[in-house]
Structure 1
Amino acid sequence: MDSICLILESAAEANGLPLSFFARLIWQESRFRPHIVGPMTRRGHRAQGIAQFMPYTAEERGLLDPFDPVAALPKSAEFLAELRESFGNLGLAAAAYNAGPRRVRDWLSGKSSLPGETQRYVRAITGLSAEDWAAAGRSGKDGIAEKTSCATLAALLKEEPTMFMGELERRVREGAARPWGVQLSAGFSRQKVLASYAAIERRFRTELDGRDPMIIRSLLRSRGSSAFYQVRVGAETRVAATALCASLSKKGGACMVLRNSRGVTETP
């Protein structure tokens, strides 16, 4: 971790990026793991390495080995600095890093929406929404003035492995469940069940984009007073739920379609 921190600090300083912003972005991308490979996209590509460069982006940036953090982190910081210059602030730079510059430009011009995964990504890193950053434009300050060492920040991030999880908690529906649900995760530990769903959502970001999960809590008589948690994505009809489950199954996902009972959706 010490060597990763040194590279992060050096790359951030060389490109005028706040260390807090850069470290949080890389944490969201890879949890500082140099050899991680992302889920396959529709085009058949996978993001690679600690900075999660797509192969074509790595080639454009002159990055020969995305799995080498010594090379990848400076290229990542350089790219983010260029995106900040292009879009006017760090929040939109993060959005463009995640969704691609073209997608963000189309969103800003009203031609398309911004993926839900990107919106959560921006908030997890910056604490503000993509809409907040768009409104600020070039006149707004980066708003990320937190100063701390990389080692301290890494320790804090490990204690709260998931700013994403906090955002996921806020997205869990508090109201009554929809009539049907696609169950994606279940178990006796609420935290582990949510963490499992978070991983599933990242893997199937296209299929689950824009769909809020619900937590179903029940008591199993065979386990005494132990609560059993299930995470489902709601659907209005059985046909819609079956279609979603079939789409996930085709890509290697595991799911089941169940009718939801009223009054069992848990409040976060």
Structure 2
Amino acid sequence: MTRALLPALALAAPLAALMAPAAAAPATPAASAETGKEETVEQALCRLIEGAAKARGLPVAFLTRLIWRESSFRPGVVSRAGAQGVAQFMPGTAQERGLSDPFDPEQAIPAAAHLLIDLRGRFGNLGLAAAAYNGGPGRVSSWLAGTGGLPAETRTYVAAITGRSAEDWAAAAKAEPRTDLTEPEGTRCLQVTASLRIRGRTESFFADAAAALAPWGVQLAGNFSKSIALASFGRARDRYAAILGDVRPMIIGTRLRNRGTRAFYRIRVPSETRAGAEALCGRIRGIGGACIVLKT
């Protein structure tokens, strides 16, 4: 994920405005990351996860593992099946849940937490909620009723996120008293992601999403106000419509630690390669536009 990446060179005023508030930009991207002045994307996502978990009464580790399993914390990912964003909402589910932009983590993560709580209420525990999040509520209902099966992918998903099998959770839903996931007080998202990075502790996220990753981005807008940043991007997209088409941007909001607790929002066009991002930015600059290529 993107770390605190700001312009590496002295840039013209329009380009500097894409990156950070006036007089706030460090000299180089490396300096920004090394001094820790800015929240990383992983830290920003963990902040959102912890906030959503607290608001909905979910274990932090459970929600962290689920979001990690879905997208490896990549806000711009799209699976071949069409699932979108860091929480991998299908468009139909997003519409049903009132989620206007699945690619916006500030919307998607709370929406995922809300959905999981509703699924827990329907099925009785978080293990079956995770199964329904992955495989769909209808499929889980059929499996529990003995009229359908549960895919191997969903079984693996449940075990990876909860540490118990789907069969264990089905039995737990029938038992009295019912049991559910618990965790030690003070569990932090970043601690969980650190353990997930250890080789062998988790598989990489699903292969059908791998081809759609966007490790590079062309930044076109940035502001402390998400709405202003998105409006600026919208104008840029209209201005460069012949180049950008109907592209869906990545929205990255991180805190600048020396600027208080407000997030700074960066709006980027995703690209799978640096060369592709540089080519796109070059075309925009070629018609008088401003942009910068950054790694995510």
How far the C-alpha of 1:144 sits from its partner, in A, is 3.5
Question: Which letter does structure 2 place at the counterpart of 1:152?
Answer: Q
Question: Which letter does structure 1 place at the counterpart of 2:193?
Answer: A
- TM-score normalised by length of structure 1: 0.59
Q: 1:78 to 1:142 in 2, by over 3 A?
A: same
* C-alpha contact (below 8 Å) 1:20/1:146 kept by paired residues: no
Question: Which letter does structure 2 place at the counterpart of 1:140?
Answer: R
Q: Which residue does 2:286 correspond to in 1? A: none
* C-alpha contact (below 8 Å) 1:48/1:55 kept by paired residues: yes
Distance 2:200 2:71 in 1: 12
Gaps of 5+ in 2: 1-41, 212-296
Distance 1:100 1:56 in 2: 12
How far the C-alpha of 1:140 sits from its partner, in A, is 2.8
Q: State the aligned residue count.
A: 167
How far the C-alpha of 1:200 sits from its partner, in A, is 6.6
1:81 maps to which of 117, 122, 141:
117
Q: Which residue does 2:51 correspond to in 1? A: 10
* C-alpha contact (below 8 Å) 1:25/1:125 kept by paired residues: yes
Paired residues for 1:245-260 under 5 Å: none
1:109 maps to which of 135, 139, 145:
145
SS at match of 1:39: coil
2:207 maps to which of 199, 204, 211:
199
Question: Which letter does structure 1 place at the counterpart of 2:170?
Answer: A
Q: Which residue does 2:180 correspond to in 1? A: 142
Structure 1 runs (4+) greater than 3 angstroms displaced:
200-203
* C-alpha contact (below 8 Å) 1:12/1:18 kept by paired residues: yes
How far the C-alpha of 1:146 sits from its partner, in A, is 4.3
How far does the alpha carbon of each residue in 1:97-143 deviate from its partner, in whole angstroms, 9 at most, with x for none?
Answer: 00000100000000100011000000000110000000010633113
Distance 2:181 2:49 in 1: 20
Identity %: 52
Q: 1:57 to 1:201 in 2, by over 3 A?
A: closer
Question: Which letter does structure 2 place at the counterpart of 1:38?
Answer: S
Distance 1:62 1:161 in 2: 37
Matched, 1:54 2:90: yes
Q: 1:144 to 1:202 in 2, by over 3 A?
A: farther
Question: Which letter does structure 2 place at the counterpart of 1:63?
Answer: L
Q: Which residue does 1:121 correspond to in 2? A: 157
Q: Which residue does 1:31 correspond to in 2? A: 72
How far the C-alpha of 1:201 sits from its partner, in A, is 10
Moved more, 143-152 or 96-105: 143-152
Distance 2:104 2:209 in 1: 27
Q: Which has the higher contact order (CA 8 A, sep 6+)?
A: 2
* C-alpha contact (below 8 Å) 1:34/1:67 kept by paired residues: yes
Q: Which residue does 1:21 correspond to in 2? A: 62
Q: Which residue does 2:195 correspond to in 1? A: 156
Gaps of 5+ in 1: 41-45, 166-194, 204-268
Q: Which residue does 2:102 correspond to in 1? A: 66
How far the C-alpha of 1:82 sits from its partner, in A, is 0.5
- TM-score normalised by length of structure 2: 0.53
